[in-house]
Structure 1
Amino acid sequence: MPVGIEAWVTQIPPITRGWLVLAVLTSLAVQCHLVTPLQLYFSFNTAFTKVQPWRALTTFFYFGPISLDFVFHLFFFMRYSRMLEESSFANRRADYFWLLSLSSGMLLALSPLFNLPFLSSSLAFVPIYLWSRRHPSTPISLFGLFTITAPYLPLALVAFSWLLNGTWRAAAGDLVGCAVGHVGWFMRDVWTREMVGGPTILSEPPERLKRLFGDI
């Protein structure tokens, strides 16, 4: 039987677990000087003109050097991504993977507009935002200091990130993540319920992806 941290990791649902492991390994690789952040950041010119396409993936796994800010983002991403995958997306791994994939594509497109070379924290705010909108009456205690309801959680975390880093630039990526999360929530929870069109490719994964994940 696995014990300790191995048992804890194996209990995390697969999409969140894979993301968490890759994020930790990426930061450890930078910390051990196996790679540098300059080899991981995303820009259209570097990724496509200079043919370094891996940057479109590594930008989502590097949360920065191991620090308080690293722990802050990793903890909240893991907590709410896990709860979302275990509740709204239980036995629907393809749907959750599709949500993150579409959100990643939107963030890559927005990256040049906001000068965001690393998009890990932005993507991490997508599940946080979606979970908060799907649990509007849930009370949340922040650091044991005060209690808010779930819809205010993303903005509270953005404000804390701002205070932690001392500059609004540090919170810009989190705000962009909230905006992309809002689009994901609207397409899945509002559009499919209130609009005539029903589910679209933006709210339902392709059949091939469902088969790949064994959801059908």
Structure 2
Amino acid sequence: MANSVTQEYMQIPAVTRAYTTACVLTTAAVQLEFITPFQLYFNPELILKKYQVWRLITNFLFFGPLGFSFLFNMIFLYRYCRMLEEGSFRGRTADFVYMFLFGGVLMTLFGLFANLFFLGQAFTIMLVYVWSRRNPYVRMNFFGLLNFQAPFLPWVLMGFSLLLGNSIVIDLLGIAVGHIYYFLEDVFPNQPGGRKLLATPGIFRVLFDMPQEDPNYTPLPEDQSGISRNGQGPDDAGQGQNDEDLQGEEN
């Protein structure tokens, strides 16, 4: 049982696994009173004057105490972060990490003027927005009550937050940053006279991308006995959407 759980956990893409784990562990630490939210929230004055630079990261990791809101955010964060990493960012881990950095920096700059304390929900909405724009023809179903196409999903979530009595400023921030990234990455480079502005730094590719196989590599031929010409045995390693339900099931 433990091995099965471990295997399932390790099959989660690396960036999604790291971020969701950090969020869960941060919430658990608060629940167990090892730390308090006051040590985590975004405070420019404490960052600049007290050098509490960890707040630049921890404000993206705390989604509130255990409860419906936390579970709701975790489900959406895990689901759409993973679908992005396994979809349009498949094999492009460096580009995915760079999107995280770009979104985080932009939200932090906006947070300076909007007096926001925690930006994790905005970051989740950004991921949802980018996924929805890259999958415009996917049909969605919101708790069996509302059917719509994927690009409307961020707005539906914002409306849901409004119904729950929450401020929509954080949702609007996530949508705005998501749109800026989508425009710069997917729209502007394809316009007449446009060009790619978000070039992933080479150091990111060195750190996060797996080395690719040489396309010019040709394996040594094998004779009928199955022994390669270098005298070693052959390599026996094998090589080997329609509607979606927002409750976690795909139809």
TM-score (norm 1): 0.92
Amino acid at match of 1:158: M
The alpha-carbon deviation at position 195 of structure 1 amounts to: 4.7
Superposed CA RMSD: 1.4
Partner of 2:188: 191
The alpha-carbon deviation at position 86 of structure 1 amounts to: 0.3
The alpha-carbon deviation at position 215 of structure 1 amounts to: 4.6
Partner of 2:171: 174
Is 1:67 matched with 2:67?
Answer: yes
Is 1:51 matched with 2:48?
Answer: no
| Cα contact 1:94–1:215 (8 A) shared by 2 | no
Superposed, 1:9-24 pairs within 5 Å as 9-24=9-24
The alpha-carbon deviation at position 40 of structure 1 amounts to: 0.2
TM-score (norm 2): 0.80
Kindly indicate which of the two structures has a greater share of residues assigned to helix: 1
CA deviations 1:110-167 (Å, max 9, x no partner) are 1122221101111111110000001111101111222110000001111112223x13
Task: Give the Cα separation in 1 of the matches to 2:127 and 2:3.
Answer: 28
Task: Give the Cα separation in 1 of the matches to 2:159 and 2:175.
Answer: 13
Partner of 1:2: 3
What stretches of structure 1 of length at least 5 have no aligned partner? none
Same amino acid, percent of matched pairs? 37
Amino acid at match of 2:4: V
Partner of 1:34: 34
The alpha-carbon deviation at position 189 of structure 1 amounts to: 0.4
Task: Give the Cα separation in 1 of the matches to 2:85 and 2:181.
Answer: 15
Which one has the largest radius of gyration?
Answer: 2
Task: Give the Cα separation in 1 of the matches to 2:169 and 2:97.
Answer: 24
Partner of 2:232: none
CA deviations 1:10-37 (Å, max 9, x no partner) are 2221111100000000000000000000
Pairing partner for 1:212 from 202, 207, 214: 207
Task: Give the Cα separation in 2 of the matches to 1:125 and 1:187.
Answer: 18
| Cα contact 2:91–2:209 (8 A) shared by 1 | no
Partner of 2:90: 90
